């Protein structure tokens, strides 16, 4: 049986390198988020930064989303795919030298994008703002990653039935290659006005739904059975969840542009197509819950399982909230408010970042041959992350969003809604400090110490 841990020319280095760099990007990105949060609560702080153009709000906001989505989450997903695919198809990685080269090349492309955004070179496509000369390198890096990952799957010969995580990884890689190229060519340079906006909605939607979601769900499908030591409860439900995601998800992208000049029929159609996604999500989550039946007690000691399980809960909340705020009556209140920012963080941080943390706690001891340094540090990481995010970020920001929406509906001056948001934004800044502190503790916990026994593989 092939295992990356015992392969001499192994992918172990790749997994470690991608994870280490992912965490560095997370820290950079989170510092960006913290700067934004402080700018919004302290006019004095904003005044100090006033003349530093590369630290202005717009640039840091783009830097923040670029670093967390592509630097943190995507490097985390690459680490997972390089670890899991060879194991799941029982074959060493295809073209490992290309993958090693690409590990560095990807960071170069991302760095170029980050520098471009901070120096004011941006395109008007949300979450794909980096200019074309940085995109070309990232697109190439992505193609190399596809060659290595999917090459491993397709050269593995007859491996029988592919494991469900592999389906999701294939989906994520294939759709995203097409989606990224569409966003950075047609949306950025060709499609005008409302047509461009509709396609931009499609890009954002697919970036979160057909990149982040399948890659993250692949992690959950991989880690859950290993952590609870039993197979996934229902293969049929996995199939239903997978195909409904692949078929239904791309159809609802215009829900990002409700009440905009996008054709009305497209907006109306987006409502039922978005609501239908609730079945996709509940199928997956039900499958996870049945698999976990009787094992909940284990989350007390198993940090990987704990992050995974709490991520599943956040997934339920995100994906129940999603169809709800896609209703026109709810959109009238929450569109453009902090409600959406809270939803975005719940999904990208509360679900997918936690699933990557779960992967780190699972895989790091196997890769280094050492246990994490201390259970206490893991507990601190978890509680700072959990309390920091839910109590200090998600709940206040969601309330701020509702309040802003009602202020605007009543036609009150915009500035009044900003002033009224202050008490909700102050905790958000604290949340940033807590989340960053939690990640730093995780890094300390991962730091090698005197030789210990490796965990069994």
Task: Pick one of 12, 18, 59, 335: the residue that binds ligand HEM (CB under 6 A).
Answer: 335
- Taking CA 33 as the corner, what is the angle to CA 32 and CA 36, rounded to the nearest 5 degrees? 90
Instruction: Identify residues 211-250 at the interface with ligand HEM (CB under 6 A).
Output: 212-213
Asked if 202 touches ligand HEM (CB under 6 A), the answer is no
Asked if 340 touches ligand HEM (CB under 6 A), the answer is yes
Binding mask 79-118 for ligand HEM (x = CB under 6 A): ----------------------------------------
Using CA atoms, how far apart are residues 298 and 89, in angstroms rounded to an integer? Answer: 29
Instruction: Identify residues 301-330 at the interface with ligand HEM (CB under 6 A).
Output: 318-319, 322-323, 325-326
Asked if 22 touches ligand HEM (CB under 6 A), the answer is no
What separation in angstroms does the CA of 381 have from each of 195, 287, 315, 384?
44, 28, 20, 5
Using CA atoms, how far apart are residues 146 and 140, in angstroms rounded to an integer? Answer: 10
Counting every residue, how long is the chain?
457
Three-state DSSP class for 99? helix
Asked if 348 touches ligand HEM (CB under 6 A), the answer is yes
Asked if 73 touches ligand HEM (CB under 6 A), the answer is yes
- Which residue in 28, 31, 69, 25 sits closest to 432, CA to CA? 31
Closer to ligand HEM by Cβ: residue 152 or 274: 274
Asked if 150 touches ligand HEM (CB under 6 A), the answer is no
Residue number with the shortest CB distance to ligand HEM?
A: 322
Using CA atoms, how far apart are residues 379 and 383, in angstroms rounded to an integer? Answer: 6
- Taking CA 449 as the corner, what is the angle to CA 445 and CA 454, rounded to the nearest 5 degrees? 90
Closer to ligand HEM by Cβ: residue 331 or 378: 331
Using CA atoms, how far apart are residues 270 and 258, in angstroms rounded to an integer? Answer: 9
- Interface with ligand HEM: number of residues (CB under 6 A): 44
Using CA atoms, how far apart are residues 98 and 142, in angstroms rounded to an integer? Answer: 12
- The CB-side HSE value for 415 (13 A sphere, CA atoms) comes to 0
Backbone φ and ψ for 123, nearest 5 degrees, come out as -110, 155
The DSSP code sequence of 376-396 is HHHHHHHHHHHIIIIIIIIHH
Least separation in angstroms between residue 23's CB and ligand HEM is 11
Using CA atoms, how far apart are residues 402 and 392, in angstroms rounded to an integer? Answer: 16
Least separation in angstroms between residue 436's CB and ligand HEM is 5
Which region among 44-52, 138-146, 274-282, 374-382 touches ligand HEM (by CB under 6 A)? 274-282
Least separation in angstroms between residue 352's CB and ligand HEM is 6
Closer to ligand HEM by Cβ: residue 94 or 349: 349
- Which residue in 378, 385, 214 sits closest to 299, CA to CA? 378
Least separation in angstroms between residue 448's CB and ligand HEM is 26
Instruction: Identify residues 27-46 at the interface with ligand HEM (CB under 6 A).
Output: 30, 33-34, 36-37
Task: Pick one of 87, 256, 306, 381: the residue that binds ligand HEM (CB under 6 A).
Answer: 256
Which region among 6-14, 150-158, 164-172, 208-216 touches ligand HEM (by CB under 6 A)? 208-216
Least separation in angstroms between residue 426's CB and ligand HEM is 12
- Which residue in 115, 146, 140, 108 sits closest to 129, CA to CA? 115
Task: Pick one of 210, 219, 277, 292: the residue that binds ligand HEM (CB under 6 A).
Answer: 277
Which region among 48-56, 74-82, 117-125, 340-348 touches ligand HEM (by CB under 6 A)? 340-348
Closer to ligand HEM by Cβ: residue 33 or 365: 33
Binding mask 47-66 for ligand HEM (x = CB under 6 A): --------------x--xx-
Closer to ligand HEM by Cβ: residue 30 or 112: 30
- Taking CA 56 as the corner, what is the angle to CA 52 and CA 57, rounded to the nearest 5 degrees? 160
Please, which residues have CB within 8 angstroms of residue 319's CB and are 6 or more apart in sequence? 277, 278, 281, 282
Instruction: Tell me the Ramachandran region of residue 374: left when phi exceeds 0, alpha when psi lies from -120 to 50, beta otherwise.
Output: beta
Asked if 334 touches ligand HEM (CB under 6 A), the answer is yes
CA 341 to chain centre: 14
Give residues in contact with ligand HEM (CB under 6 A): 30, 33-34, 36-37, 61, 64-65, 68, 72-73, 126, 204, 208, 212-213, 255-256, 274, 277, 281, 318-319, 322-323, 325-326, 331, 334-335, 340-341, 343-345, 347-349, 353, 428, 431-432, 435-436
């Amino acid at each position: 049986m092939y295992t990356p841990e015992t392969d001499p020319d192994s992918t172990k280095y790749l997994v470690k390198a991608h994870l280490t760099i992912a965490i560095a990007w997370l820290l950079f990105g989170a510092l960006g988020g913290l700067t934004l949060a402080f700018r919004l609560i302290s006019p004095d702080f904003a005044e100090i930064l006033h003349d530093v153009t590369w630290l202005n709000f717009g640039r840091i906001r783009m830097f923040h989303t670029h670093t967390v989505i592509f630097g943190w989450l995507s490097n985390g997903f690459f680490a997972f795919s390089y670890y899991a695919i060879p194991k799941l198809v029982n074959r060493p990685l295809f073209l490992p030298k290309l993958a090693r080269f690409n590990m560095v090349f990807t960071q170069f492309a991302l760095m170029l994008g980050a520098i471009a955004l901070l120096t004011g070179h941006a395109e008007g496509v949300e979450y794909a703002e980096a200019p074309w000369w940085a995109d070309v390198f990232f697109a190439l890096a992505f193609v190399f990653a596809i060659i290595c990952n999917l090459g491993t799957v397709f050269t593995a010969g007859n491996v029988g039935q592919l494991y469900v995580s592999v389906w999701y990884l294939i989906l994520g890689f294939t759709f995203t290659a097409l989606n990224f190229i569409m966003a950075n060519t047609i949306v950025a340079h060709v499609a005008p006005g409302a047509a461009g906006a509709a396609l931009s909605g499609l890009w954002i939607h697919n970036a979160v739904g057909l990149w982040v979601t399948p890659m993250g769900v692949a992690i959950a499908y991989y880690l859950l059975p290993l952590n609870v030591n039993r197979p996934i409860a229902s293969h049929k439900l996995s199939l239903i969840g997978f195909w409904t995601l692949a078929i239904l998800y791309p159809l609802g992208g215009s829900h990002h542009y409700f009440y905009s000049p996008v054709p009305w029929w497209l907006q109306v159609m987006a409502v039922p197509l978005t609501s239908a996604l609730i079945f996709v999500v509940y199928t997956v989550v039900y499958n996870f819950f049945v698999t976990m039946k009787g094992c909940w007690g284990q989350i007390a000691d198993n940090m990987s399982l704990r992050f995974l399980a709490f991520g599943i809960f956040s997934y339920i909340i995100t994906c129940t909230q999603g169809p709800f705020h896609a209703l026109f009556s709810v959109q009238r209140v929450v569109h453009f408010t902090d409600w959406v920012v809270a939803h975005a963080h719940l999904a990208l941080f509360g679900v997918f970042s936690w699933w990557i943390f779960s992967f780190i706690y699972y895989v790091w001891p196997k890769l280094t041959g050492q246990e994490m340094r201390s259970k206490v540090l893991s507990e601190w990481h978890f509680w700072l992350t959990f309390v920091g995010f839910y109590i200090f970020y998600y709940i206040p920001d969601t309330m701020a969003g509702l309040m802003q929406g009602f202020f605007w509906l009543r036609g009150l001056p915009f500035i009044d809604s900003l002033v009224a948001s202050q008490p909700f934004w102050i905790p958000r800044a604290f949340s940033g400090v807590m989340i960053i502190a939690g990640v730093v503790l995780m890094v300390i916990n991962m730091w090698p110490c005197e030789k210990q026994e490796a965990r069994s593989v």
